[in-house]
Amino acid sequence: MPFTVHGLPVSQGIAIGHVHLISHALLEVNHYHVAPRHIEDELARLDEAVATVQGELVGLKAVTTSGQAHSEVGAFVDLQLMMLADPMLVDAARQLVESRRCNAEWALVQQMEHLVEQFRQIEDPYLRERQADVVQVIERLVKVLLGHPGHLPPKRRDGLGTIVVAHDLSPADTIGFRDHNIAGFVTDVGGPTSHTAIVARSLKIPAVVGLHHVRDLLEDDELVIVDGTRGVIIVAPGDEIIEEYRLRRSELEIERSKLNRLRDTRATTLDGETINLMANIEGPKDLPAVKSANADGIGLYRTEFLFIGRDNLPDEDEQYEAYRAVVKAMPSKPVTIRTFDVGNDKALNGVHSRMEPNPALGLRAVRYSLSEPKMFLTQLRALLRASAHGKLQIMVPMLAHAQEIDQCLALIEKAKAELRAEKLKFDESVQIGGMIEVPAAALSLGMFIRRLAFLSIGTNDLIQYTLAIDRSDEAVVHLYDPLHPAVLKLIAGTIATGARYGLPVSVCGEMAGDLAYTELLLGMGLRNFSMHPGNILEIKQQILRADLGELAPKVQRILKMDEPARIREAVERLVA
Ligand code: PEP
Ligand code: MG
């Protein structure tokens, strides 16, 4: 009998294929004592496994740096390599083999349990989450020791793909899927913002996570359908259901190829208003995707990805090269580069190791930059130097106070004066903007409007801070609601105030790239959207069907509502 299991949709699309269960290697570990004369062999076995895993990770690193996967993933591979080299992990396990004569797998699992317990007691959520990396590294080692390093099956001949089913998958595992004709994946745990989900999206593999005990419900080779758009898997579907999903899948493919035809069409609404569709990027490696979507510019360059996951900081020249590469690739189009937004869930190795009671409310984004003026000045100099090559604009994240932007502007003046003295070129009229991500800023726009040339609404953080929901905490993910009336009022108010003062306003949070909110944002008066480049053409298609004259009064009525169900219904009805 067919049945369905519901989870969280994290990567869109439909996959039909046969289950390949990935065993939970850590549950299969035998415990035994090694004879004293075999201790040396056991240690050699452990060392060999470490070398193999190191090799695997270095291989994965090569894939990530060749631009085929998310740069964040490269950072995580680095982190796992570092853990592998950490004496707390392998050396401690070696000692257990030597002193207690444990077999290598058992020693590793004991040490893992010990470390996980230590991580659990850490207050900093970012560091606490790193226990997952410890488990993943040990799991890799154990798989190698057990002689089944999680090999994926060869390509099937029946035209169907393989659906990987696992308790959890590391981003590194996910990258490995590319070469194995993996059609989709499903896991017991995970959330939409997990790094594994991010990689799945960038590889365009349909995925559903958070399915709890799905591994126990499925058998190897069983036929399943993964609907990554709705977050459902259909187990043992009959012929009719398979046919229906095949049809939906080919419709989706046709839709996607039709979308490419919109590449060179401007995003103009039915009543003639042209909307700017810009891209969010994390570095020059995202430029091919920006080009293929023909974005109207870069609305958000998250420069912190240059800084995180490494032991040294990028110097002025390294930063300058990265910023210049992006600016030069976008001739005559605006490139909005955000000053580094570290802290919270994006910590710097070593530098940001202070234990914070609540990192989301602590020293992050502009607060961190101002606390490290030397490091900030280096970035500002690099940005200004790159501004000589195109339409670069500088954007400051997470503003809440007027003095924050005053201090930033003073530092920019200082950087300019230095460059003038050194006879280095830069754009004298470079535009400075700020992100509206904190309710306090959205409610006191005047002081920012007087000081800045443009605003960009970071809805991801604006929602987090308005609703007091840690966006990286899976336990409260169900409360993260972009349609909460308070959130809508703050977004609409910012857009309207910007328009009144003639200051350009954009939205660069996830809402801008989500089809569910396109009409709503248009109706609020938004004319500048910035999103993952992969979403641009879809959003453009929706804009081409929209009529602003009709939307604006409807959205005004929605903004007066305060009953969530009614708001949701009314927003759904806006979609043409
Ligand atoms: C946001 O908060 O909406 C945003 C775009 O910034 P980030 O997601 O990088 O915090
Ligand atoms: Mg933000």
Q: In the predicted model, what is the mean pLDDT of residues 155-160?
A: 66
Residue with tokens 């990027």: 281
> Ligand 1: which atom is nearest the Cα of residue 511?
3
Q: In the predicted model, what is the mean pLDDT of residues 69-85?
A: 75
State yes or no: pLDDT of 128 exceeds 80.
no
Nearest ligand, measured from the Cα of 509: 1
Q: Which comes out higher in pLDDT, residue 100 or 503?
A: 503
Q: In the predicted model, what is the mean pLDDT of residues 335-352?
A: 78
- With the most atoms of ligand 1 within 8 angstroms of its CB, the residue from 70, 435, 465 to mutate is 435
Q: Whose CA is nearest to atom 10 of ligand 1?
A: 461
Helices (H), 155-297: 171-176, 195-203, 214-217, 239-260, 287-293
DSSP 270: T
CA of 245 to the centre of ligand 2 (A): 37
Q: Whose CA is nearest to atom 1 of ligand 1?
A: 458
**Most confident segment among 38-47, 276-285, 335-344, 389-398:** 389-398
> Ligand 1: which atom is nearest the Cα of residue 300?
5
**What pLDDT is recorded for position 478?**
80
**What pLDDT is recorded for position 285?**
84
State yes or no: pLDDT of 171 exceeds 70.
no
H or E element at residue 169? none
How many other C-beta atoms can be found within 10 angstroms of the C-beta atom of residue 10? 24
The model's pLDDT over 379-426, given as tens digits with 9 standing for 90+, comes to 999 999 999 999 999 999 999 999 999 999 999 999 999 999 999 999
What is the percentage of the chain residues whose pLDDT exceeds 90? 59
Residue 14 · residue 247 · CB < 8 Å: no
Q: Whose CA is nearest to atom 6 of ligand 1?
A: 458
Please tell me the distance from the alpha carbon of residue 436 to that of residue 453, in angstroms, as a whole number: 13
Q: Is 396 exposed, middle or buried (0-12, 13-18, 19+ CB in 10 A)?
A: buried
- Quick one: angle between helices 71-85 and 39-63, nearest 10? 160
Residue with tokens 């290697």: 25
State yes or no: pLDDT of 352 exceeds 50.
no
The model's pLDDT over 256-313, given as tens digits with 9 standing for 90+, comes to 888 999 999 999 999 999 999 999 998 898 899 899 999 999 999 999 888 876 778 9
Please tell me the distance from the alpha carbon of residue 113 to that of residue 98, in angstroms, as a whole number: 19
How many other C-beta atoms can be found within 10 angstroms of the C-beta atom of residue 449? 19
Confidence of residue 70 (pLDDT cuts 50, 70, 90): low
**What pLDDT is recorded for position 345?**
65
Q: What pTM did the predictor assign?
A: 0.69
Indicate if 408 belongs to the active site: no
Which one of the listed residues 102, 352, 408, 508 is annotated catalytic? Answer: 508
Which one of the listed residues 167, 195, 352, 484 is annotated catalytic? Answer: 195
> What tokens appear for 374 in the block?
């030397």
Q: State how beta strands 14-21 and 454-457 pair.
A: unpaired
Please tell me the distance from the alpha carbon of residue 436 to that of residue 207, in angstroms, as a whole number: 32
Residue with tokens 């990554």: 228
Indicate if 195 belongs to the active site: yes
**What pLDDT is recorded for position 148?**
62
CA of 55 to the centre of ligand 1 (A): 34
Please tell me the distance from the alpha carbon of residue 42 to that of residue 459, in angstroms, as a whole number: 53
The model's pLDDT over 175-231, given as tens digits with 9 standing for 90+, comes to 666 666 789 989 888 776 565 676 677 677 899 988 888 878 888 889 999 999 899
> Where does ligand 1 bind, in terms of residues with CB under 6 Å?
300, 302, 341, 437, 458-461, 508-509
